[in-house]
Each structure stands twice: as structure tokens, then as C-alpha cells.
């Protein structure tokens, strides 16, 4: 009795396809395990970052970084540091940046603070509602000439613009706190590469309202890790099913 060449060929082709499918599934298992492990690493990195930021926010304020420290400033070690600065407000160079806060829509009031060493740091003095954007509507908030001390959180520049909106310095329309662009538009020099979110210390007349910094970090790494690991398990189940079919 002779074997059917066609049946033998089909069997070999089917076996080869199953081997290829098994190999592909094993590659998927390795990829999904790697992605899951990477997300676990990111999870611990994010938890460490949150812990470090929390410690900065609640630490005693320290002098804001001076010019010699500017090149070394980074998000990892400086964002949300509790700092203080003393100088003279330059109200004529204030910019308003559109904002949405727990108090509704309005503007951040960003005013340059001229420091004793002739450098400048931009201060986010706080929030004003849309109907108070004109300084004439909040005269008391324009602090009289003289040194002032501001305490708050160090924030890094937000270049470019806001969500789907680009800053328009020529028309004084701002959607993000882009310090370099603000400095250029207002003719400021020797400006710190960060700004300070002022704390909740009341301003004259009650405006602007400071202390509205949202310190929050999106942390979905555990969910992502579990998803990748679940896909790895499903791929392993696929390998088992294919091997079972081969044995049948």
C-alpha cells in the first residue's frame, strides 16, 4: 500500500504552518512580558517621583535658584520645589495666560519680578476671572512700588502653547506659560528658565488668587502592566492550543 503524496504534502504544510504559528506566539509572549516588566519599572519610577515631589512641596522654602544654577535645573530634581524670591514687580510687563481652574475659566496673572542682582523671575501671581482681566478692574491688586517677597512652587517653562492652541506673542495671546517667549515679547533679559506659582498668601483686594497649583501625576502603569501580562498569558494559551492540535 503506497502513501498518498498529496496527503503527505498537505500534512507537511499543515505542520509547518503550526510551527510558524507557535514561533509567532512565543515571540508575542516575549514581547508582552518585556512590555509588562517595563511598565512595572515605570510604576516604581512614578511612585518614587510622587514621593520626591510631595517632600519638595511640603519642605521649608529655600531661595529660588540663581543664575549659576539655571543650566542644571531639571524636572526630576527641581519641579515643585518650595522656593522664595524677593524683588520688585514689573506690572507694566504682566501677561495673562488663559486658564481653567477649580474656580472656573479665566487667566493666570504672570508678572516679572526684578531681583536685586538684576536678574528676573516670572511670578504666576494667581488666577483672575475673565471679568477681572483688566488691571483697572482690580486696581488694589497692583502692588505698589517696593520690594515684595513671594513664596511658592518652582515650575518649569511650558513652551509652545496649550492644547491645540499656539501662543501668539504679537497679539499678546497666551495659552501656556512659555517663559522664553514671554521674555522675548516683553523685552526682558537675564530671565530664569522657570516661573514661580505663588502660594495662597492673599493679595490686596483678594486678587489674583494664588495657591491653585495642581500637583497630580497620572499613574496608570499598574493597569498597563497587568494588561501586557494578561496578553502574554493569552499568547501562552495559544501556544498550548496549537501544540495540542499538532498532537491530535
Q: What is the pLDDT of residues 179-228, one digit of tens each?
A: 999 999 999 999 999 999 999 999 888 899 998 987 776 778 788 888 98
DSSP code of residue 61: P
Cell numbers given for 218: 497620572
User: In the prediction, which pLDDT does 157 show?
Assistant: 95
Query: What is the tens place of the pLDDT at every residue in 66-120?
Result: 999 999 999 888 999 999 999 999 999 999 999 989 889 999 999 999 999 999 9
CB 116 within 8 A of CB 87: yes
Instruction: Compute how many other C-beta atoms are within 10 angstroms of the C-beta atom of residue 211.
Output: 14
pTM of the model: 0.72
Q: Of all residues in the chain, what percent carry a pLDDT higher than 70? A: 89
Strand 104-114 and strand 95-101: pairing? antiparallel
Q: Which residues pair with 229 in a beta bridge?
A: none
Average pLDDT, stretch 6-31? 75
pLDDT above 90 for 148: yes
**Between 19 and 114, whose confidence is greater?**
114
Cell numbers given for 63: 531661595
User: In the prediction, which pLDDT does 182 show?
Assistant: 97
Average pLDDT, stretch 118-131? 96
DSSP code of residue 117: T
CB 110 within 8 A of CB 96: yes
Average pLDDT, stretch 118-136? 94
Cell numbers given for 50: 510622587
Q: Which residues pair with 97 in a beta bridge?
A: 108, 174
DSSP code of residue 177: -
User: In the prediction, which pLDDT does 75 show?
Assistant: 87
Q: How far apart are the first and last CA of the chain?
A: 24
Amino acid at each position: 500500500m503506497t502513501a498518498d503524496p498529496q496527503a503527505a504534502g498537505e500534512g507537511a504544510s499543515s505542520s509547518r504552518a503550526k510551527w510558524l504559528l507557535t514561533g509567532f506566539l512565543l515571540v508575542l509572549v516575549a514581547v508582552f512580558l518585556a512590555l509588562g516588566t517595563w511598565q512595572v519599572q515605570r510604576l516604581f519610577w512614578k511612585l518614587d517621583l510622587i514621593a520626591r515631589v510631595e517632600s519638595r512641596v511640603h519642605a521649608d522654602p529655600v531661595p529660588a535658584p540663581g543664575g549659576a544654577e539655571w543650566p542644571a535645573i531639571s524636572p526630576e530634581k527641581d519641579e515643585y520645589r518650595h522656593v522664595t524670591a524677593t524683588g520688585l514687580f514689573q506690572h507694566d510687563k504682566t501677561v495673562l495666560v488663559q486658564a481653567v481652574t477649580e474656580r472656573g475659566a479665566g487667566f493666570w496673572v504672570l508678572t516679572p519680578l526684578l531681583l536685586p542682582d538684576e536678574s528676573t523671575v516670572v511670578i504666576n501671581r494667581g488666577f483672575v476671572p475673565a471679568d477681572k482681566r483688566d488691571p483697572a478692574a482690580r486696581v488694589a491688586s497692583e502692588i505698589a512700588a517696593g520690594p515684595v517677597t513671594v513664596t511658592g512652587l518652582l515650575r518649569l517653562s511650558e513652551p509652545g502653547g496649550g492644547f491645540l492652541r499656539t501662543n501668539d506673542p504679537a497679539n499678546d495671546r497666551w495659552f501656556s506659560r512659555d517663559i522664553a517667549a514671554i521674555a522675548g515679547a516683553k523685552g526682558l533679559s537675564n530671565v530664569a528658565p522657570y516661573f514661580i506659582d505663588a502660594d495662597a498668601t492673599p493679595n490686596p483686594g483678594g486678587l489674583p488668587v494664588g495657591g491653585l497649583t495642581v500637583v497630580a501625576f497620572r499613574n496608570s502603569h499598574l493597569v498597563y502592566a497587568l494588561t501586557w501580562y494578561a496578553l502574554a498569558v493569552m499568547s501562552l494559551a495559544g501556544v498550548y492550543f496549537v501544540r495540542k492540535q499538532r498532537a491530535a
